[in-house]
Amino acid sequence: MTNTMQAAQINHYHQNQLVIQPTPLPRLQANDVLVKIMAASINPLDLKIMAGGLKLILPYQMPLTLGNDFAGEVVAVGPNVTQFKIGDAVYGRPRKSRIGTFAEYLAVNAEDIALKPQNLDYQQAAALPLVGLTSYQALHDLMDLHPGQKVLIQGGAGGIGTLAIQLAKSMGTFVATTASRKNFELVTTLGADRVIDYHTENFAEVLSDYDAVFDTRGGHTLEQAFRVVKPGGHVVSISGLPTAQFAKDYGLPRWKQALFGLASHQLMRLARQSQATYHFLFMWPSGQELQLLTNLVERQTLRPLIDRVFTFDHLNQALDYSRKGHARGKVVINIGER
């Protein structure tokens, strides 16, 4: 192994192309494993970071290697790591301060990864960690959904939606979702019970009394969610405005807590009016929760859906494709076979 590797980086914010350039191999810390990355997936988070849209909650030093989830093979282990060994096939979402999966190698805390499901290849596995964990944390940890409850999942055909529909069905719920008409068959196959074409129908006029809404859109779509949810229900958004409580839990300084409090004032008012809760979720890495997803995949309850696979050298085309906002499932980058 040499001391350098190829990594896809930005040198400053507002750069809309990544540059593949040589960079030092990541340094292994005591609780880390070093992974040879075989595949990674594109997440809209990569685009938001590049555009500088998350600077308030995620400030990064430049140059920055992008990429927020991966699947690969363990090639070295730190002295404190007991649960993984060289040669293990693993996957994961590294913690936010240590992203950088669009690279040949990644040093990652062993707590943030799990063994790759045996029935998935590396590309399929790379499609799962970020969207799988986000969906699990929204539907299970925050909404605590129970069999027989009704949940609306916005954007059923996307990376999040294709996973969230399957998870919600595995929890025994009735699932409504929004999609373009061309994706009706896809989301129905994944288990959606009610599909709404968001181009021609307003979900807030046709749905009511829902136990929960999983919002992936933010803005006006999120505001309308409070018309659909019933008293005691939950609205969880991953694209809306963060709340003061989120900023506090996330450890942001008081002035940022106040800023987010002001910005989310209208949403909190809507939540009070409909006697529902509103949470902004910024997903967290968790090897333990990922292991639960591995189990679901191996029991064939859950399967990642891949729209397209691009080579590492075509990473910028993959970003452009994702930027259009109509991927069916995930866009994956093949890194190991370059």
Contacts to ligand NAP by CB under 6 A: 43-45, 48, 130-131, 134, 154-155, 157-161, 178-180, 183, 198, 216-217, 238-239, 281-283, 322, 325-328
Collapsing DSSP to helix, strand or coil, 332 comes out as: strand
Q: What is the largest CA-CA distance in the chain?
A: 60
How far apart are the C-alpha atoms of 75 and 233, rounded to whole Å?
A: 46
- Residue 112: CB atoms within 10 Å: 23
User: Using an 8 Å Cβ cutoff, are 330 and 303 in contact?
Assistant: no
Minimum Å gap between C-beta 256 and ligand NAP is 16
C-beta of 72 vs 240, nearer to ligand NAP: 240
Nearer to ligand NAP, 84 or 136 (CB): 136
Residue (84 or 91) nearer to ligand NAP, CB:
91
CB-wise, 23 or 135, nearer to ligand NAP?
135
Q: Are 57 and 252 a contacting pair, CB within 8 Å?
A: yes
Q: Do 214 and 138 contact (CB within 8 A), yes or no?
A: yes
Rounded to the nearest 5°, which phi and psi values hold at 199? -75, -30
- In whole angstroms, the minimum distance from the beta carbon of 298 to ligand NAP comes to 23
Q: b/e map of 209-238 (b: 16 or more CB within 10 Å)?
A: ebbbbbbbbbeebbbbbbbbbeeebbbbbb
Q: Considering the complex, what minimum distance in angstroms separates the CB of residue 273 from ligand NAP?
A: 23
Q: How far apart are CA 5 and CA 26, in angstroms?
A: 9
Shorter beta-carbon distance to ligand NAP: residue 137 or 173: 137
- In the chain, the DSSP E strands lie at 4-10, 19-24, 32-41, 64-65, 70-77, 89-92, 105-109, 113-115, 150-153, 174-179, 194-197, 210-215, 229-237, 277-280, 306-311, 330-334
Of the pair 37, 283, the CB lying nearest ligand NAP is at 283
The minimum distance between CB 115 and ligand NAP, in angstroms, equals 23
Q: Name the token pair of 284.
A: 């967290």
Residue number with CB closer to ligand NAP (26 or 159)? 159
Q: Residue 275 Cβ, how far from ligand NAP at the closest point, in Å? A: 25
Task: Give the residue at shortest CB distance from ligand NAP.
Answer: 158
Instruction: Name the minimum Å distance from CB 208 to ligand NAP.
Output: 19
**CB 290, CB 109: distance < 8 Å:** no
CB of 130 to ligand NAP, least distance (A): 6
- In angstroms, the CA 76 to CA 66 distance is 22
Query: Nearest-CA neighbor of 97 among 16, 195, 26, 197?
Result: 26
Closest distance to ligand NAP from the beta carbon of 55 (Å): 15
Partners of 76 in beta bridges: 34
Shortest separation between residue 202's beta carbon and ligand NAP, angstroms:
11
C-alpha separations of 4 from 22, 32, 67, 303 in Å:
6, 18, 18, 35
Name the residue nearer to ligand NAP (CB basis): 29 or 321. 321
31/316 with CB nearer ligand NAP: 316
